[in-house]
């Protein structure tokens, strides 16, 4: 079981006390060191060609990176794939870090805990490329995240059951192998320029939203005052950014800070979400 790419995991052997106290003359061969090679399963050639055709015809594709990207050690393959195509990437909780936060195609989380950009593009997508994800309810927002009536799915997974979810075209195989072969099959393809521009806008917004999750990744437009000086957290502020100034007003409202200064307490900055964030905007 441990040598299966689909069923790999920890194993617990529980033996009763009377069995543990017994001795037996086992053959030495049973304890010899063995090296098990976990195979990298390659996708079916016919289905791969069909998937490549779907990608070339798509106008609003989005890729969802799940935990399988990490298990497959496919980080470099994913980065190369999206750099060559410009397809935006939303990450599941298990897939966090699949693509560097500052990568131009990175939109942050997707689904219930997702960023506005990732969820807006998912809602409009005509093609979803799912890589190493089980499509849980958090990722799909209980199957409400994708609302384009003409949407199609490509499922890349070592588990047949997960690869076929949402009636997807199943590319059963190792994530790294599939991404590398798929990149070769669609060489020269780029997303439309209008989608690329929107991805760039949403990427910059996702960097701002990343500020809320632990202050680990700070975009250049974020400025900190009072850190380590004993000042209250409310002194944290964000400078205006030329990008935000040029955005439609409804878009900017999604990135406004609100500060709560309760008497005798300090509080962390938080985002004030507008009606636009809940309903989406066609302006961005």
53-98 per-position pLDDT tens digit = 999 999 999 999 999 999 999 999 999 999 999 999 999 999 999 9
CA distance 211 to 224: 11
CB 269 within 8 A of CB 261: no
Between the CA of residue 186 and those of 103, 123, 169, 205, 284, what are the distances in Å?
21, 24, 16, 29, 28
Q: Is the pLDDT of residue 179 over 60?
A: yes
Q: Is the pLDDT of residue 41 over 70?
A: yes
Asked if residue 121 lies in contact with residue 198, where contact means CB atoms within 8 angstroms, the answer is yes
Q: How many CA atoms lie within 13 A of 230 on its CB side?
A: 0
Residue-wise pLDDT tens digits, 125-137: 999 999 999 999 9
Lowest pLDDT segment from 5-9, 53-57, 244-248: 244-248
- Residue 17 three-state SS: helix
Average pLDDT, rounded, for the chain: 78
More confident residue, 248 or 121: 121
Instruction: State the pLDDT at residue 209.
Output: 55
Angstrom distances, CA of residue 122 to CA of 140, 181, 208: 9, 24, 20
**Rounded mean pLDDT, 139-150:** 93
Let me know: does 135 contact 65? Beta carbons within 8 Å: no
Q: Are 126 and 150 in contact (CB under 8 A)?
A: yes
Query: How much is the pLDDT for 210?
Result: 52
Q: Quickly state the pLDDT bin for 39 (edges 50, 70, 90).
A: confident
Q: What domains can be seen in the chain, in order of their start residue?
A: 45-197 (3.40.50.1220), 220-284 (no CATH)
Could you tell me what percent of the chain has a pLDDT over 70?
A: 70
């Amino acid at each position: 079981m441990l040598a299966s790419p689909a069923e790999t995991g920890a194993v617990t052997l529980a033996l009763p006390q009377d069995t543990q106290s017994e001795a037996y003359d086992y053959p030495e061969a049973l304890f010899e060191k063995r090296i098990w090679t976990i195979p990298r399963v390659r996708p079916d050639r016919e289905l791969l060609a069909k998937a490549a055709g779907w990608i070339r015809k798509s106008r609003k594709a989005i890729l969802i990176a799940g935990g399988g990207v990490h298990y497959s050690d496919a980080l470099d393959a994913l980065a190369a794939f999206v750099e060559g195509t410009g397809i935006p990437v939303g990450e599941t909780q298990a897939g966090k870090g699949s693509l560097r936060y500052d990568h131009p195609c990175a939109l942050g989380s997707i689904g219930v805990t997702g960023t506005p950009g990732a969820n807006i593009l998912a809602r409009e997508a005509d093609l979803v490329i799912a890589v190493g994800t089980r499509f849980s309810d958090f990722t799909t927002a209980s199957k409400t995240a994708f609302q384009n009536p003409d949407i199609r799915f490509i499922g890349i997974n070592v588990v047949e059951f997960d690869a076929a979810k949402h009636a997807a075209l199943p590319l059963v195989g190792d994530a790294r192998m599939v991404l590398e072969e798929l990149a070769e099959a669609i060489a020269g393809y780029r997303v439309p320029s209008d989608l690329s521009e929107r991805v760039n806008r949403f990427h910059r917004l996702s960097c701002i939203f990343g500020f809320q999750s632990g202050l680990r990744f700070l975009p250049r437009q974020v400025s900190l005052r009072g850190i380590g000086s004993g000042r209250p957290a409310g002194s944290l502020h964000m400078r205006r950014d030329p990008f935000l100034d040029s955005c439609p007003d409804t878009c900017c409202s999604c990135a406004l800070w609100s500060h709560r200064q309760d008497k005798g307490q300090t509080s962390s900055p938080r985002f004030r979400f507008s009606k636009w964030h809940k309903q989406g905007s066609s302006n961005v």
